[in-house]
Chain A
Amino acid sequence: MKVLVPVKRVVDYNVKVRVKADESGVETANVKMSMNPFDEISVEEAIRLKEAGKATEVVVVSIGTAQSQDTLRNALAMGADRAILVEADGEVEPLAVAKILKGVIAEEEPGLVLLGKQAIDDDSNQTAQMLGALTGWPQATFVSKIELGDGSMEATREVDGGLETIKVNMPAVVSVDLRLNEPRYASLPNIMKAKKKPLDTKAAADYGVDVTPRLKTLKVSEPPARAAGIIVGSVSELVEKLKNEAKVI
C-alpha cells in the first residue's frame, strides 16, 4: 500500500509573527520557515507504517513556491521515498489544495492519505475534509491512533468528549492530531541521502486546477495588546468583578 502525505511550508512555530505594514498579511520575508508541525506527525506515521511492513511506499507532496522543496527534502530525510512539488505562487486556499490533491491521488493511487489536521499559519482545518468529499473516500479526522486492518482501519479520534474509535474502509483520508506520535529527527546520513531521492515538479495547471483565491482578505491586524491584570482581595470581590466589570456571569 502506498501512503500519500501532503506537507506544507509554514512560518516556524518559534517565530514571533509580525503583521506587514500594509496589513495585507504576516511578514514572511527573512522569516524562518519549517514543515507544518502536524505534517511532521503525518510523515512520521507514514514512515512507521512502512517500517512495520504495512506500507510499501511513502510519497510526500507539497503545493507552494519552489522553496517548498526544502520542506519536501526534510520529509525525504526523515524517511519518505519520493516527493512531488506542485508549484503555485501566492496563497492557495484549502479547496484548491484539495482539488490538486485529488489530481495527485488519481495519478498515484495511494491506499491512504495522511494529512495534518490543520496548518499552523492559517489554521483552516479544511483540506482533509474537502479532500474526503471530493474523492468520496471515508475520512477520519483528528486521529491520535491508527490500527490498520484488512481493507479497513480503526482510527481513534480526539473529540470534545474524549476519544472516539471509528472503523473506516480503505482507501481513506486521515487527518492527524498532536498525540499520534513524536516525529523523529532526520539523521546526518539520511539528510545526505535525501538529496538523491526523486523529486518531481509539476504545476497546478497540470491538474487543471485554477488556484485563484475565492476569498478576499480585507485586513490582517495584530491582536489587541493584553491589558494588565489585577489581584483581587476576596472571592466576593472576584464574583462582583466577574458580574459587573467583565460581565461574564
Chain B
Amino acid sequence: MQFDLTEDQRSFQEMARNFANNEILPNAEEWDDQSIFPEETLRAGAALGFGGIYCRAEHGGSELTRLDAAIIFEELASACPSTAAYISIHNMASWMIDRFGNDDLRARVLPKLMVMDHFASYCLTEPSAGSDAASLKTRAVRDGDHYVLNGAKAFISGGGRSDIYVVMARTGEEGPKGISCFVVENGTSGLSFGAQERKLGWKSQPTSSVQFDDCRIPVENLVGSEGQGFAIAMAGLDGGRLNIGACSLGGARASLEAAKSYMAERKQFGRRLDQFQALQFKLADMATELEAARLMLHRAASALDGKHPDATQYCAMAKRLATDTGFSVVNEALQLHGGYGYLKDFPIERYLRDLRVHQILEGTNEIMRVIIARKLIG
C-alpha cells in the first residue's frame, strides 16, 4: 500500500494549485456574485491540459489517471468549487465520447473540446426522471441516416452555453437497456433551452433545461451502440462522482484554512479563538474527517484506475463521504467565523453554497446508499 503522491502527482498538484491561486481565486467572488461563466480562464486551464485530464492523447487529452484527476480537482476547487465542478462535468462528457464514440465522431468533436474552444454538457436528468434516471422518456427514433429526438432534460449544467450535449435518450424498451447515448451539437434545429435557473450556488456556470423538438442528428452521433447508453452514462458518473467528491475536499480544505487564520486573529474573552480548547478540538475533528474522506476518495480513484470489480461501489462510498464531510466541514468553518461567516465579506458562505449541491447531484447521497446497499444485500 502506497500513500504518498508520486513525483509527477506532486508536480500536477503544485501546478493546479498555482493556477487556482493565481488565475481563479482572485476572481471567484466576482464570478459568483455576477454569475459569470469564466470562459477565458477555462481555456487557459485547458491549454495546460485540464480540458481532457483522462482522455487519450490522440486528440489532445492529457491521458492521466483518475487519481491524478482527483488531486487536480481538489486544488482547483480550493479556489472555486463551482468552476472546478464545471470542468469536471466537461471532462466527464468528453471522456464518454473519447471512450465510447466512433473514430470519426472522436476526430470531429474532441480536438475542440480538449482545448475548451467548445464546452460540453451531460444530459441525463429529466423533469420526471431524477434519481430514477432509467425511467427517462426522451425518445430517439431512427429515420434513415438520422435519429430524431423528442423530449426534455432538466438541470443541465452548461445548458444554453455548451456546444456539445451528450444526451441519453430512449431508442428501445422501458428501463436501462432501452437507452442510447448521443452527441447533439448546439445549432442543430429542434434543440432549444429554457431560462437560466436561479440557484443557491454554482453560480459561475449556467444551468438550464434542454428541449428536443424533432431534433435530427446524423447516425454517426450515436455514442457506443444502441442500448448501451445507460451503461455509458453510469461509467461516466463513476469518474464524475470522484471529481465532485474531490471538489468538496478542496472547498472544505480552503474553508478550514480560512477558519484557522480567522481564529488566530479574532479575540474574545481576552484570548485568541484558537486558544479555546473546545474550538481546537473542533478544528482537529474537521482536519481528521477531511483526511479520512480524502483517503477514501483516493482509494476509490485507484480502484477505478485498476478496473477493480467493486469500483462503482467504492466511487459511490467516496462520493457520499467526501461530499457529506465537505459540507459539514465548511458548515463548521462558518460557525467558527461567528456572524462574519454569514457575510459576503468572507469567502466561507460562497464555499458553503457551492458545496451543498454536491450532496444532491451526480446521484443524490441517498442514491449512493442505494448503490452500496445493493452490493451488500445483493
Total cross-chain contacts (CB, 8 A):
41
Q: In the complex, A9→B7 CA distance in Å? A: 16
Q: In the complex, A192→B61 CA distance in Å? A: 13
Among the 9-residue stretches A105-113, A128-136, A180-188, A210-218, the one with 4 or more Cβ atoms under 8 Å from chain B is A180-188
Contact between chains at A185 and B19 (CB < 8 Å) = yes
For A, the interface residue count at a CB cutoff of 8 angstroms equals: 13
Contact between chains at B15 and A191 (CB < 8 Å) = yes
Task: From B48, B57, B63, give the contact of A185 (CB < 8 A).
Answer: B48
Task: From B7, B18, B62, give the contact of A188 (CB < 8 A).
Answer: B62
Q: In the complex, A146→B6 CA distance in Å? A: 38
| Known A70-B7, A73-B7: A188·B47 in contact at CB below 8 Å | no
For B, the interface residue count at a CB cutoff of 8 angstroms equals: 18
Chain B min CB distance to A11 (Å): 15
Contacts of B18 in A (CB 8 A): 185
Chain A min CB distance to B371 (Å): 30
Contact between chains at B57 and A191 (CB < 8 Å) = no
Contacts of B57 in A (CB 8 A): 189
What are 29 residue pairs bridging A and B, where the CB atoms are less than 8 Å apart in the complex?
Answer: A70-B7, A73-B7, A73-B11, A74-B11, A77-B11, A185-B18, A185-B19, A185-B48, A186-B11, A186-B15, A187-B15, A187-B47, A187-B48, A187-B62, A188-B12, A188-B15, A188-B49, A188-B53, A189-B49, A189-B57, A189-B62, A191-B8, A191-B11, A191-B12, A192-B8, A192-B62, A192-B63, A192-B64, A195-B8
- Docked complex: A185-221 residues within 8 A CB-CB of B: 185-189, 191-192, 194-195
Contacts of A192 in B (CB 8 A): 8, 62-64
Contacts of B47 in A (CB 8 A): 187
Q: In the complex, A233→B12 CA distance in Å? A: 54
Contacts of B68 in A (CB 8 A): 188
Q: In the complex, A119→B7 CA distance in Å? A: 24
CB of B50 within 8 A of chain A?
A: yes
Task: From A77, A188, A195, give the contact of B64 (CB < 8 A).
Answer: A188
Q: In the complex, A73→B6 CA distance in Å? A: 13
- Docked complex: B62-76 residues within 8 A CB-CB of A: 62-64, 68, 72
Q: Secondary structure at chain A's binding surface: helix, strand, loop or mixed?
A: helix
- Docked complex: A57-78 residues within 8 A CB-CB of B: 70, 73-74, 77
Chain A: CB-nearest residue to B19: A185
Task: From A70, A74, A188, A194, give the contact of B48 (CB < 8 A).
Answer: A188
Contacts of B7 in A (CB 8 A): 70, 73
Q: In the complex, A195→B11 CA distance in Å? A: 11
| Known A70-B7, A192-B8, A195-B8: A185·B62 in contact at CB below 8 Å | no
Chain B min CB distance to A48 (Å): 16
Q: In the complex, A96→B281 CA distance in Å? A: 51
Contacts of A194 in B (CB 8 A): 11
Mark interface residues in A23-56 (1 if CB within 8 Å of B CB, else 0): 0000000000000000000000000000000000
Chain A: CB-nearest residue to B18: A185
Contacts of B53 in A (CB 8 A): 188
Chain B: CB-nearest residue to A74: B11
Contact between chains at A185 and B15 (CB < 8 Å) = yes
Chain A: CB-nearest residue to B44: A185
Chain A: CB-nearest residue to B47: A187
Contacts of A73 in B (CB 8 A): 7, 11
